[in-house]
Structure formats: structure tokens, C-alpha cells
Amino acid sequence: MPKAQHQPLEGPRPAALAEAEDLADLSALCFGGHIRPRTGRRRGGARELRGSWIMSSGGKPISHMKVVYNHLLIHGCRVKVASVGGVCTHPDFRGRGAATLLLDHCIGDGTSAGATLLIISGGRGLYRRAQAVDAGPTLRAEIVPGSVQRTSGACSARLATPEDWPTFARLYQQEPVRFVRPADFVAAALSRRHHMGAWIVESPEGAEAYLLLARDWGVSRDDPRRIVGEYAGSRAALVQALPTILEGSGLSLISFDFPAHDRELAYLFERNGVGLKRRTIKDHTIRLLNLPTLMGRLRPYVEARLTRSEARQLSFEQGETCVFAFGDEELEFDLGRSAALVLGGPKAPRVEGELGRVLGSVFPIPLPMPGLNYV
């Protein structure tokens, strides 16, 4: 048995600035060079370490998890969420529960901080054992040469430059379901994140939409396939510009994943003869933290979908399980099944009766794709 198996673990605790390079080396080891976190002194120092929690042994970090707090706007309702990523454990210390201790801490810390959902950039057993579930229903359009007919419309597409980042921010701000971002978020995110192409779509009246392309996990730089990392703005302009973007990028395939609630984009793809695949995003799970607070924040959204009488009779409770009640009807589910009900997807439990009818009017709640907010 390796010596590391006998060394005691300490933590969870916040990462110290002096441990920045050790954490960068740990991430490079665990992720095979795909990711080297922004933890070095020359890459942001204490700012980039904010939210980094570690387990250590012998004074050295051996497991890491980063948690970032954000707010979502869901049709005008502001909801606090926590996002987790950068999770890694040194191979010599795996199987000792270090990452589980970090995740338990982040769940407790997020709940205490008033977050309602934990958005996780991962889908492995560690998260599913903590009752995280697939992050809601999505659709995928696979764009290949000729799949979208080139039209003679007024929109054009070009590679964006840093001067366009403020325009990106304004386009994103118009999204009805989105993360709340400061004005300089896009510039900061794109300056430190590897992306394979930021495209802006324009008409004679100005910027209409943008599209960010990225490599999927494990795909080499030379592979002619890309995924959509984020999009915002006019869906019609985006679809019209896709042949230009595909050709201008020299790609053979763009995999365009988007939330199933984006019915306008789905309609435009289908009208153009692009088939859609129903799926959930790979390696993206969500854990319910506080159902009553979530639904309290979404009260205006709920009231717009129900009568006043129905909204008054609907209530939610959470302890070790969650309770959904309407009038005299009541159902109780564990956290995983409750999250599946709230977020939607193939594993959502079926609810009958008046309670089922009312919950079907409210759920699934629409959530944004993580995009540039992925941790």
C-alpha cells in the first residue's frame, strides 16, 4: 500500500496564496494537461484562489474544489446559486473520501450562504451520490456543411475582437434566462479562457447576436469539430449566420446544445430541416440546496403561471426530503427525485391529480446553459 494511504488528511480549508503553484501542478496532473487552473501568482493571485477549498496532507494540497457564487435572472426573478468545478484529487490519495469531504463542505456552505442550487461541472458518482441530477432537458443541433441553407438575408458574421466584448455583454443582458454579470465579465472571461472562436452576427442596424465556439473535452486543437460554448441575441440571425461561421472556421461540425425551453431556436432549426436530438448535457449536474427559498424567489414566475388561488395553495418544504403540497394533496421525494422534478428531464417523477397539474404548470424551471460561467 502506498505510503500516502497512511498519511493523515487535514481540511477542508481555504487554499493559501503560497499553495497556488502546488494547486496548479495538482490540476495539471489530474486533468492530464487539459486544464491548468488560474492559480499562479502571475495569473491573478489571491483573486483567482477565492473560493478554492482544499484537503491537504503533510502541508501539501492533495484535493481541490472551487465554489463560486452567482445569481440567475429567470424572467425577472433573481436566484442565488453556487457553482462548483476544478475538482481533483492526487492519485495517491484517491479512495479516502477527500473530495466527498470537500463537496459536503461546499453543500453546507452554499446552503448557509443562501444559495438555492449547486451547479456542478461534472457528472461522476461523487456528485450523484450527493443526489445531484442531470441538469434538465436540452436539445442538440448538429450543423455540418449544407445542413442549414445559406440565405441572402441582411445578416453577416465575422470574428469578434476585444472591442466587441461590451457588445457581447449588452446582447447577453437581453436574455430572459441568464446569469447576472458585471459589465467587464466577458472581457475577463475571454482573456483567461481558451476559446476557439468568438463570432459576432451583424445587420445594417448593428449587432444582432454572438456565438462562442469551444473544443469539447479531450478534443485536440486540430480536430475540425467544435461545440457552442455560449450564444445570445437574435436566434434568426444566428441560424442565418451558421453557414458563414462553419465555413469561416474551417470546421466539419458544430454541435449546438441549447436548453429545451428555447422554443424559438428549436423552431428555427426544425424549419430549416435541422433535426434535433433530445439529451442532457454531459458532465453537467445540479444539486438542490434549498427548495423553499428557490420557489420563494420564483414567486412572481409561479404566479404568472397559476391563478391566485392556486398559487396560495402551493407550498414547498425541505429537510432530508422535499415535500410538494397543493391543498390537501402532498407528495414527498428524496432530494434527487425532487431536483429531477424541478429541473425536468427523463428521470422526473410523474405526479398525478391536481398536484400534478399544478406542478406541471410550474416545472421544469428554465435555467441557462453555464457558458462562460462554467467554473
Q: Provide CB contacts within 8 A for 61, sequence distance 6+.
A: 15, 19, 22, 23, 26, 54, 55
Task: Specify the domain boundaries for CATH 3.40.630.30 within the chain.
Answer: 3-115, 138-279
CATH, range 138-279: 3.40.630.30
- The SS3 assignment for 293 reads helix
180 vs 190: CA distance, rounded Å: 17
Q: How many of the other CB atoms lie within 10 Å of CB of 352? A: 9
Mention every residue, 6+ apart, whose C-beta is less than 8 A from residue 179: 70, 71, 72, 73, 368, 371, 373
How far, in Å, are 36, 90, 161, 218 from residue 29 at the CA level? 9, 8, 33, 15
The tens-digit pLDDT sequence of the chain (375 residues) is: 356 666 899 999 999 999 999 998 998 899 875 444 444 444 455 677 889 999 999 999 999 999 999 999 999 999 999 999 999 999 999 999 999 999 999 999 999 999 999 999 999 999 999 999 998 899 999 999 988 877 767 789 999 999 999 999 999 999 999 999 999 999 988 876 656 699 999 999 999 999 999 988 777 878 899 999 999 999 999 999 999 999 999 999 999 999 999 999 999 999 999 999 998 877 899 999 999 999 999 999 999 999 999 999 999 999 999 999 999 999 999 999 999 999 998 889 999 999 999 999 999 999 999 999 988
Q: CA–CA distance from 178 to each of 4, 174, 285, 355 (Å)?
A: 44, 9, 17, 29
Kind and range of the H or E element at 126?
helix 125-129
CA distance 200 to 208: 8
**pTM over the 0.85 mark:** yes
Strands 77-89 and 117-120: parallel
In the sheet that holds 253-259, the strands lie side by side as 156-159, 197-203, 206-214, 225-233, 253-259, 138-143, 276-279
Looking at 3.40.50.20, 3.40.50.300, 3.40.630.30, 3.30.1330.10, the CATH number of the domain 3-115 comes to 3.40.630.30
